[in-house]
Structure 1
């Protein structure tokens, strides 16, 4: 009897276990069916799938094998939906919230539009949310704060508007917040700046306003990147930022910050990028020099330092030469600096860009600049530099751009200028320079040359080297005499040629008709004689031509671009003739043949 009872009990236990397993299987099947339906609903909201990414999303196939879908091994539930860079267009179905095991949702760089609904807060296991580079609009759903495991939120480059939900600051593990390039407004929730978990905060290019928290309100000990540029933030830059000792990138540029550059920023030993440009920052009242630059000499990892377009005044300290050996970009332009460039600047041996333009700096350009062999761009325009351009400039073999316009530089352009083998742009206009060396025309990479408004004299070498790349030549408002070199007609990339307001004489070379890329030509206010070459009728791209105030004679060409010119292009010449609309007399029938 006891044996039979034992057998019955074993049978009942086996049946119970079987029922339990069936219930588990049914639950798993039901859950899997829920995931499948959610994914199919997501697919149905996609209006355009140019790469057929979802073509295998059918009921006949296991969704764990669908493109972009990754399932958990144990439960076979959707853990990751990764469809970045797929060209998808449509809305994001609210049924995505039924993917209750989802940990990663990456739909970045597609064309999803519409609103992100509050239902996304049902994804309680979600850790990573990438929706950047889409066209999503409306408010950021406050329900996101229900995703308490979220570590990464990237909604940058969309059309989100309204304020940042203050609830996001309650996410305990949030370390990456990227909301840049949207239409967000209002103050940034202060609690965001008081989270020890934060590693990167990127809020660039919105319309945030208000002040940043100060003192104890700013505690970000693990922060590495803080980008708040292109907003409308006001007040002082908090000195407590120095407590974020792991910072490598700090950009507060293009805001409305006032006050001082905190000297405590010099405590950021690991900072590589410091951008404070386009604000209203000043230096300490009564301070003769920019003392914060001396503080920043402690930032030994600094690569970019940009403080241009502020209200900084005073002199550059000699300590500028002690800035980081890694420094590649130094920009202090459009401020109110005075004094000279310290010779110590030559110690910045890895500098690629030096921008000191549009200040009130004076004195000579220091010869020590020639020691910065890595320099590629040198901007010194809009100051009061005087004296000659030092020959040491020719040692900058990597220089691609030289801007020193609007100064008081005098003397000759150094004849060694041809050593700048990579020079592409040279703008030295509005100075007192007196001579162009023939070697200048040996620069094979030069695209843009502006030497206008100087005191350049003499004549141009008739044997200058033809250029294949020179696009812009402006020698206007000088005292250059002699003939226009015929070889200029071989400058096959020339788009703009301005020789006006000089003393050029002789005929206009008919080779100018070969400049088929030309759209601007000004020969006005010279002593040119002879006829206007008919070859210029071939200049099909020309938008502006001016031959006024010369000694030109003969018939004005009447085809091609000449059909669109007015009398202003020909006035005050010696004996031009042609169409009466150009306010010149008609040509005699026995006029002499034109030059061709």
Structure 2
């Protein structure tokens, strides 16, 4: 009697799963890859594309339709897939709201619906999915506040709501998620301060709150979470200075983005202790003082940006740190524009990484001649040296930069001829040399630069005619 009862319960369960999947299919309005073609009565639903069942009871446990170009809305019947543990609908074009019925799925551990067009509010009934470990709804159109009911998701490991239209403050109770590894809330409209409670997230690896409207100072407790490898607070209204021991307390840092805020104080020398650092961006703040000499010890460094601060003091020693960056053999982008850096550029600049594609030094107080050694940086696509005090002639060695696309030498004190070797730079899109003291003719060799869209030689002492080749 008992086995007959369990058997009939299983059949009923199988039937409810079948009906729920068919209702899901009915919500699909476009299916260019014909994924739903297999979803028919000639095949058992456990064999349908994207459907995985428990072999013991033939109940649906996984729905995986990642990147299938599906368009449609989510049927409330999804809440009838009682044994569902994971649903992956990432990178499709689902729209409408997430049905509240999803809260019935108490076995659910993974919701991945990023990169869709899902709107509405976050369903408060998600609070019943207390086994949830991954909630990834990034890159959608979800609005409203994060419901306080979600504080019950105590097993959450990945909390991803970036690039939506969420507002209000970041809930302090997120600090109770003791297993949290990824907190991704960037590019929303969150306001207020970063809660001090987040400092209790002792397993946190990725902290991403950039692109909001957050204010106040970063809680000091956050700087003590030694497991953090990705730290991004860019594009907010945060202020204050950085602890001098930040690199000692965050030894696993790989990414450190604090750009476009209102931070002040000096660049912490201890960053060199975070030996795994790959990308550092302090751009667009009010940082002062020298650039630390010891950043050259960061062997994995790929990007270093200090642009648009108040670093340096117009002194000859301001650029001494550059020679140590020659040790960063993986460096691809160096941006120091918009500071108060003085001194002369040494020929050793040509010993920077052979991988460097962007060298941006504009709007500083650098004087002297442009070193010929820059011609050794064969991977450069962007060279920005505008609005400085450079004098002397333009070195012919710039003609060795075969990958260069944009060259900014405007607003300096350069004199002499425009080197004909620039005609070797066939990838050039823009050349800006206005407001100098350049003489002679425009070289006909520039006619080789077939990709040129912008060419500005105004406010110089050039003569002759524009070559017909140009």
Give the TM bin, normalised by the shorter chain.
0.7 to 0.9
- Relative contact order, higher structure (CA 8 A, sep 6+): 2
SS of aligned partner of 2:57: coil
2:214–2:238 Cα contact (<8 Å) kept: yes
Which residue in the other structure is 1:213 paired with?
219
Q: For structure 2, list consecutive stretches of 5 or more residues without a partner in the other structure.
A: 143-165
User: Does residue 1:401 correspond to 2:406, yes or no?
Assistant: yes
1:69 to 39, 45, 51: 51
Q: List aligned pairs for 1:309-324, cutoff 5 A.
A: 309-314=308-313, 316-323=318-325, 324=328
Which residue in the other structure is 1:258 paired with?
264
2:350 to 327, 346, 368: 346
2:198–2:222 Cα contact (<8 Å) kept: no
CA distance in 2, matches of 1:378, 1:99: 57
Offset of residue 305 of structure 1? 0.9
Which residue in the other structure is 1:297 paired with?
296
CA distance in 2, matches of 1:209, 1:97: 39
Distance 1:153 1:335, change over 3 A: farther
User: Does residue 1:81 correspond to 2:63, yes or no?
Assistant: yes
CA distance in 2, matches of 1:90, 1:210: 41
Which residue in the other structure is 2:162 paired with?
none
Offset of residue 271 of structure 1? 1.4
Distance 1:45 1:415, change over 3 A: closer
Q: List aligned pairs for 1:216-365, cutoff 5 A.
A: 216-237=221-242, 241-242=246-247, 243-278=249-284, 280-284=285-289, 290-292=290-292, 294-314=293-313, 316-323=318-325, 324-350=328-354, 351-365=356-370
2:246–2:268 Cα contact (<8 Å) kept: no
2:50–2:65 Cα contact (<8 Å) kept: yes
Distance 1:234 1:157, change over 3 A: farther
CA distance in 2, matches of 1:43, 1:166: 39
Distance 1:333 1:36, change over 3 A: same
1:26 to 8, 21, 36: 8
1:377 to 379, 382, 396: 382
Normalising by structure 1, what TM-score? Answer: 0.66
User: Does residue 1:99 correspond to 2:67, yes or no?
Assistant: no
1:150–1:173 Cα contact (<8 Å) kept: no
Paired residues, number:
438
1:200–1:225 Cα contact (<8 Å) kept: yes
1:213–1:238 Cα contact (<8 Å) kept: no
1:385-406 Cα deviation digits (max 9, x unpaired): 1221123323333323211111
Offset of residue 134 of structure 1? 2.1
User: Which has the greater radius of gyration?
Assistant: 1
Which is worse superposed, 436-445 or 24-33? Answer: 436-445
2:179–2:203 Cα contact (<8 Å) kept: yes
Distance 1:145 1:86, change over 3 A: same
User: Does residue 1:425 correspond to 2:430, yes or no?
Assistant: yes
Which residue in the other structure is 2:186 paired with?
180
CA distance in 2, matches of 1:20, 1:253: 66
SS of aligned partner of 1:336: coil
CA distance in 2, matches of 1:38, 1:171: 32
Q: For structure 1, list consecutive stretches of 5 or more residues without a partner in the other structure.
A: 1-18, 285-289, 468-596
Distance 1:372 1:62, change over 3 A: same
Which is worse superposed, 329-338 or 178-187? Answer: 178-187
2:119–2:140 Cα contact (<8 Å) kept: yes
Which is worse superposed, 387-396 or 177-186? Answer: 177-186
